[in-house]
Every structure is written in structure tokens, then in C-alpha cells.
Amino acid sequence: MEETYSAFNQAQREFDKVAEMMKLDPSYREVLREPVRSLLVNVPVRMDSGTIKTFPGYRVQHNTACGPAKGGVRFSTDVTLDEVQALAMWMTWKCSLAGIPFGGGKGGINVDVHDLSEGELERLSRRYFSEIQSIVGPEKDIPAPDMNTDARIMAWFMDTYSMNTGNTTLGVVTGKPLELGGSLGRDAATGRGVEISALNILGKKGVDPKKARVVIQGFGNVGAWAAKLLHDDGCKIIGLSDVYGAVYNPKGLNPYDAVERAMKPEDSVSKLLPGDKITNDELLALECEVLAPCALQNQLTGKNAAKVRAKIIVEGANGPTTPEADQDFFERRITVAPDFLANAGGVIVSYFEWVQGLAFFFWTEREVNNKLATLMNQNIDKVYALAEEKNISMRDAAYVFAIKRVADAVRLRGIYP
């Protein structure tokens, strides 16, 4: 019988492996492998028809030793407590490795947003935020966009919190519209981080970006920005996909031809862009210099890893590679820039947005992008160097840095009381 996939189990297995390697004190291991707080809420929404529907929602804080919890909220029919716990744990490592003063959190609602009208979506968002209000706040836990959530929803979150408290509080969410204290560069930031990671590692391997063939799975915020930016750098984007299909063109695809698309099958990148229609499995198996999975977790698994012919994998999604696939890639010397390193651009610029909001002083886009590139390149360099030195994967090297900082913070703070 096939084992059902558990993202949280994957996150814990990744942690256990490195905690063992680091000989981390077992009592700290126990603290770090579980979330400190998991909240389940049931969110009732009056639908346009007049009936009331209830949706399960979650907010999980994995660890807050280094600062307030930080992490996105996703709206998807895949959302479960298991998934949110895994994503919250990965946020802890992402913020720790990035060197920003946050712990890890994540939230979500199990809902199909395509079934909702604008009004229903707004009522769902506002009621969810009201339900989790007691555990969020600019110094407690700061949500942000994730899958199927965007700046508009962050504005509703911020307004709901502000109405309930009576103060306009910019710092309670990030990824807000520019008019409401958002940061320049935030929308592109996660995709830009994927671009920075790909260019950095191509450079280390001595590959000219203009000769690099790139395949990107997913054309949401992360995948679309990564595709546009790498295309601007002169890379040849030979494969792209979205939920409706995938397309391959050895001559190169222009992602700009698909940016104005709507979320419907007729507007899939596989329909809008010229090339061969291929399956998702064929996309992941294309021969290329860079493969960037920017969709969902559990995409590169023990089943399809052996077919992957990329030289470098840059994880734009959270958790796209299972431990079995990771082992295969390590043995075949495929370099994997792990999710919590490569997709940290979003939360890094969220940190910049939070700082700007608290200071009421806003930076130029160039300042934001330069600070992001400096921080990401520093982190990639140190992780790559440790991986080379110890002959371990970049994921394990990244975990060493990330776990050490959080474990040190827990130790220094002590266990209360």
C-alpha cells in the first residue's frame, strides 16, 4: 500500500537528519521539532445566495525564539493542519537562515477561491483574520501572502485588525498594497530570490546565464516573476507550466506573452505560448541547466527523481523535493538550492516592509532590491561553502546554520518558567 504523503513528516525528517548530524541536545530537539502553537478556527461566511458556509482555517506558530512568528496565509483545497505545520516549521528555518528577527508561522483556509465571488472572498478573509486576531500582531505574528492570497487580501486583513483594535496598524501584515504601507519590490521578491539563487549557482558552476536552459514549474507569483527575470538575464526558458498544462520549446519561450492571462484553462501558458504541449512529468524530466519547481510541495519524489536531467534545482516552492528525491540528487551531484534558502526573497522583503512600516519611512525600489541581493548572495555563498567543505547537500548545510541560530536562541532565553 502506498504511504500517504505528510508534509509535516517530511519537515520533521529533514530536521531530525541534521539534528542528529549536529549532535543537537535531545531536549532541544524535542522543542524544535513541534510547533509552539496551532490554532484551528471555523470560519462562517454568508454566501451571496444567503446561505452560510463554514471553512476550516489554521494559524500555526512553529517557533518564536528569534522574534515574532512570520509567514504567509494560503487559500487552497490542499490546506490541512499537517501542511500548515510543515510550512510554519520551514518558515522558522527560512527566517533563521536569512538572519532576520522572526520566528516561523503559517496560516491557511481550506477553500477553493475560484468558487467565491469578490464579496464572499472579502467576508471569508475578514472573518478568518478576526478569528486569529488574538494570536497575531506586529510584535506577535505577522501574516503575508502565499498561495492564492495577494495584496488586496492583505489590505482586508490589515483593515480588519485595525478596525478591531481602533488603531491603523501597518506592521500586522506584509505584502500590502503600496498605498497602505507596502514595500516597493515585495511583489517580485520571491521570484527575484529564485533568480538571484539561480544566477549565483550558475556562476559557481562556471555556466554563462546566456547559455543556460531553464525550466520552471508553476506560473503563479513566484514562477512568473522568476521566469520574467531570468528571461531578462538572457537565459533560455525552454519549459513552463501552470495548473492547466505545460509547454516545451527548445528555441525559448517568452514569459511576457503570458503575464496577462486569467486563471482559466483557455489562458494556460500551454495554450498561450508556442511550443509542444507536454505533461508535468515530461516537464520535470527536461534536460536543462536550471529546474525551478515553483508550484507545490511533493513534486520531485522517489518515483520521478531518477528521470530529472537538470544540473541545478532551485526550489521556488516550499517542500517540492521529498527526502528520497533529495538523496538521489545528492548521489547524482545535482545541486539543489533548498526552498528555505532560495525562496526566502519574499520574507526578506516582508522584513524590509515591516521595518519601513514601523519607522514610517519608505525606501526606493533600488534600495530594496540591492539589500535583497546582498543578503541572499551572502547566504547562498555561506551555505554553498559549507556544503562543499563537509561534502553534504546544500539543504543539510542550510539546516546546520538555521537550526543552530534557533537552538542558540532557545538556550539563551531558557525555558520558562
Catalytic residue from among 23, 53, 106, 228:
106
Residue 174 interacts with ligand GLU (CB under 6 A): yes or no? yes
Nearest-approach distance from CB 173 to ligand GLU, in angstroms: 9
Please work out the total of residues on this chain that contact ligand GLU, with binding judged by CB under 6 A.
Answer: 13
End-to-end CA distance of the chain: give it in Å, rounded. 46
Q: Which residues are annotated as a binding site for NAD(+)?
A: 190, 221
Q: Is the peptide bond before 143 cis (omega within 30 degrees of 0)?
A: no
* Nearest residue (CB) to ligand GLU, 154 versus 285: 154
Nearest-approach distance from CB 339 to ligand GLU, in angstroms: 8
Residue 76 interacts with ligand GLU (CB under 6 A): yes or no? no
Residue 72 interacts with ligand GLU (CB under 6 A): yes or no? yes
| Strand 236-242 with 245-248, pairing | antiparallel
The secondary structure of the chain, three-state, reads: CCCCCCHHHHHHHHHHHHHHHCCCCHHHHHHHCCCCEEEEEEEEEECCCCCEEEEEEEEEEEECCCCCEEEEEEECCCCCHHHHHHHHHHHHHHHHHHCCCCEEEEEEECCCHHHCCHHHHHHHHHHHHHHHHHHCECCCEEEEECCCCCHHHHHHHHHHHHHHHCCCCHHHCCCCCHHHCCCCCCCCHHHHHHHHHHHHHHHHCCCCHHHCEEEEECCCHHHHHHHHHHHHCCCEEEEEEECCEEEECCCCCCHHHHCCCCCCHHHCHHHHCCCEEECHHHHHCCEEEEEEECCCCCCECCCCHHHCEEEEEECCCCCCECHHHHHHHHHCCCEEECHHHHCCHHHHHHHHHHHHHHHCCCCCHHHHHHHHHHHHHHHHHHHHHHHHHHCCCHHHHHHHHHHHHHHHHHHHHCCCC
* Nearest residue (CB) to ligand GLU, 268 versus 350: 350
CB contact at 8 A, 302 and 325: yes
Residue 71 interacts with ligand GLU (CB under 6 A): yes or no? yes
Nearest-approach distance from CB 68 to ligand GLU, in angstroms: 11
Residue 141 interacts with ligand GLU (CB under 6 A): yes or no? no
Which of the ranges 68-76, 109-117, 249-257, 301-309 carries the binding residues for ligand GLU, by CB under 6 A?
Answer: 68-76
Query: What backbone phi and psi angles, to 5 degrees, belong to 146?
Result: -150, -150
Residue 144 interacts with ligand GLU (CB under 6 A): yes or no? yes
Residue 64 interacts with ligand GLU (CB under 6 A): yes or no? no
Residue 350 interacts with ligand GLU (CB under 6 A): yes or no? yes
Which of the ranges 70-78, 176-184, 210-218, 228-236 carries the binding residues for ligand GLU, by CB under 6 A?
Answer: 70-78
Which of the ranges 23-31, 127-135, 327-335, 342-350 carries the binding residues for ligand GLU, by CB under 6 A?
Answer: 342-350
Residue 18 interacts with ligand GLU (CB under 6 A): yes or no? no
Separation CA 158–CA 278 (nearest Å): 42
* Nearest residue (CB) to ligand GLU, 268 versus 343: 343
Residue 148 interacts with ligand GLU (CB under 6 A): yes or no? no
Residue 200 interacts with ligand GLU (CB under 6 A): yes or no? no
Binding-site member from 59, 62, 70, 127 for ligand GLU (CB under 6 A): 70
Binding-site member from 76, 197, 270, 318 for ligand GLU (CB under 6 A): 318
Which of the ranges 66-74, 229-237, 250-258, 398-406 carries the binding residues for ligand GLU, by CB under 6 A?
Answer: 66-74
Residue 347 interacts with ligand GLU (CB under 6 A): yes or no? yes
Nearest-approach distance from CB 48 to ligand GLU, in angstroms: 29
Residue 61 interacts with ligand GLU (CB under 6 A): yes or no? no
Active-site annotation holds for 307: no
Which of the ranges 69-77, 201-209, 213-221, 229-237 carries the binding residues for ligand GLU, by CB under 6 A?
Answer: 69-77
User: Annotated active-site positions, please?
Assistant: 106
Binding site for ligand GLU (CB under 6 A): 70-72, 94, 144, 146, 174-175, 318, 343, 346-347, 350
